Structure 1
Amino acid sequence: MDTSEVSAVWATDLKEFLYNVVQHLFSSYFKQTKMVVVTREPETEPMLGDSGFDETISFTNSEQNSCREQAYRDLTSIMKAAPLQINSLQTCLNLLTTAISLQDITLVKRCIEYLNKNLNNENVLIVYSFLHKCQMPTMDPNQLQPSAPPLVEDEHLKGTNWVQTLIEDLRDNCLVIIDENADHLLKQPELLQLPYKDIYDIVTRDTLRVSSERVIYNVIYSWGLEECNRMTLSKHHLPEVLRQLRYAPRYGLMKRKEFKRKMEEILEEKDWRKIKFYLEEKAKNRRVDELPNKMSRPRLLTTDLKPTTKAQINARERLTRCERCIINVLTCWTAIFD
């Protein structure tokens, strides 16, 4: 019997065992009220599919919450015993959605770990645009049939918005990749579909590496037109639609020929004149006051900053410990042979 046949037999036996466990666990808790519905899938289906768990569980009696939670934990702990293979980015994103809706922190961590390992400049906008959809499930006060209880294994995460806590590093890593590939990524059509906050967080970063601030202007102008179309507004409403995005380009870093009259479409007349005066005085090497809203402040290189993600911080700490160890060894060596 080869490896594939052994795996198939193992999966079948485990599926049968899981089915029996479900019957045993929930029949003792909810036999009288029939509050648990377990549907047995065909044997060819994987134990844990891309869209989540195969079993459908409904609970109605709040008095039996502790029994429900323990039963659900027992069930999912058995499911976790089988290795979970994530083979594609889209599968991982779908699975992440399911994990958040089930409030399964362990599964959410697995998905985020996969995304972090496979993040690159080709898929970063797909992942980044997905993250704003990752929200804590809201409890409807009129809903009397809650879904499975949350699996909050980390005590310090209980009672917190743990979804945002867990995806924070992933979001930071996305922004770092966007920083380093800004000229290419800011021209991609996917960027125009981002919500206001996501596009704002990108174009206002001090570490954004762009060859010209004109790139930033083109992005927000195109995004503004797209947003006007989505809101069925004319382009005359661009200033209202863009709001603070109007001041995201560092106009003071542009060349005079790059700063055109057309930019008055999104800027107020007084702002346009102030920027124009700044560029003219700067070209004459005259002293002039800085523009507000960082509009004349140079952007920083990524290498000029301290590490921002936990992975970078941990790597730096390991390097620091190694350096201290080497220094201690050399100090001892010197003291012995001095």
Structure 2
Amino acid sequence: MVLKVDSEPSEETKPILSNDTSDNYKTDLKIQDAYKHITSSMRADPLRIEKPELALELFSTAVKIQNVPLAKQCIEILYNHLNKHNALLIMNHISKCKLVAANPPDPFDLEPSAPPIVENDNQMNEDWVQDLVDNLRNSCLLEIDKNADFVLRHKDILELSYGDVLTVLTRDTLQASNELLVYSAAVRWAVEECKRRTLQPQAINLKAVLRQLVYAPRYGLMSKREFLCRTVDGVKGPDRSGFLEERETERILDYIKKKRKNRAVEELPHRGSVPRKLCGERPRVYHSGMSGDSACSATSTCDKFVINFLTCWTAIFD
């Protein structure tokens, strides 16, 4: 099956949380067990939850029944448990919660065991969920930035929506040690998205679901060997993928060649040659998924020595 796209798809993959949630709300034993003591906990002591997954489920419940105090407590719990292992999970979940909040279900369909607790009318404006999750989402992105190498290899990145994965991979502050990590994450996500849409992972379908993600990797920051890699993590390398037009490939290779010779060259479009704002120098090493002569090499010991020597010399005589 081949996907032909005349314009951008009008909607993303159907979110896990949908408007028809009353049955799930009543049958989800985990939420029911926790919800039995929500009212008393909120009026006496703060909720004590050690698992972020449970806090996310309770937050979803709070959004559906528009219970602001419960939602705030869940957000605080998530802040306290945020780390590189769950940043993608939290970011993905709160994005779906915002989708549900945009079209809240009829409260009479939910029949909650206790009435929603509302602090005041001003809090129940249409942006209340947005206000709660914006800072948490930003904290997730900062956690992703500083742990980019770990996060880009994590399986949870394959579950993000198109908008979220585009946000992550195009950030100037993403501290990936190599742009091939960004390329690999984008293509692996596209393969999973094709599966979700019951499409064959052929080049034409992958390019269609990638859309602007084709330009998320900053190809101008790669070496020639990296750009011409045959395979990366089981997928074809940038030059062999078929995602880029021939003229784009030629321009990228020309940029890489001139950059290596320290010659003046016009910057690539789509910020393809703009360095990301890394915190300190990091070695350009990539090991996973490379084959034979296409493997991308690390910086040589001699190069490292020269760089360190020049850095010390500048520091002493500046």
Matched AA of 2:136: L
C-alpha deviation, 1:79, in angstroms: 6.5
Report the counterpart of residue 276 of structure 2 in structure 1: 299
Residue 133 of structure 1 aligns to a residue whose secondary structure is helix
- After superposition, the C-alpha distances for 1:209-252 in whole angstroms (9 at most, x for unaligned) are 01111110111111111212222223122211100000001111
What is the distance in 1 between the residues matched to 2:262 and 2:49?
A: 58
Q: Trace 1:179-328 onto structure 2 (pairs within 5 A).
A: 179-234=145-200, 235-236=202-203, 237-260=205-228, 262-264=237-239, 265-301=242-278
Equivalent pair of 1:100/1:137 in contact (CA under 8 Å): no
**Aligned-residue offset at 1:287:** 0.5
Contact 2:220–2:256 (CA<8 Å) still a contact in 1? yes
Residue 258 of structure 1: SS of its match in structure 2? helix
- Separation (CA, whole Å) in 2 of partners of 1:85 and 1:144: 29
Whole-Å separation in 2 of the counterparts to 1:51 and 1:97: 13
Is the alpha carbon distance of 1:147 and 1:137 closer, same or farther for their aligned partners in structure 2, counting shifts above 3 Å? farther
Unaligned runs of 5+ in 2: 1-30, 230-236, 281-318
TM-score, reference length from structure 1: 0.63
**TM-score, normalization by structure 2:** 0.66
Is residue 2:42 matched to residue 1:80?
A: yes
For residue 138 of structure 1, what is the aligned residue in structure 2?
A: 103
RMSD after superposition: 2.7
- In structure 1, the residue matched to 2:232 is none
Cα distance in 1 for residues equivalent to 2:105 and 2:43? 33
Instruction: Measure, in 2, the Cα distance between the counterparts of 1:105 and 1:246.
Output: 39
More divergent stretch after superposition (166-175 vs 122-131) = 122-131
- Indicate which of 47, 60, 64 corresponds to 1:101: 64
- The residue identity in structure 2 corresponding to 1:120 is N
Identity percentage of aligned residues: 39
User: Alpha carbons of 1:174 and 1:289: their partners in 2 closer, same or farther (altered >3 Å)?
Assistant: same
> Is 1:90 matched with 2:53?
yes
Which is bigger in relative contact order (C-alpha 8 A, separation at least 6)? 2
CA distance in 2 between partners of 1:217 and 1:54 (Å): 46
SS in 1 for 2:227: coil
Using the TM superposition, give the Cα deviation of residue 156 of structure 1 relative to its aligned residue in structure 2, in angstroms.
4.5
| 1:164 partner amino acid | Q
Distance 1:231 1:274 in 2: 33
What is the deviation of 1:86?
2.0
Larger Cα-atom Rg: 1
> Which segments of 5 or more consecutive residues in structure 1 lack a partner in the other structure?
1-47, 56-75, 304-338
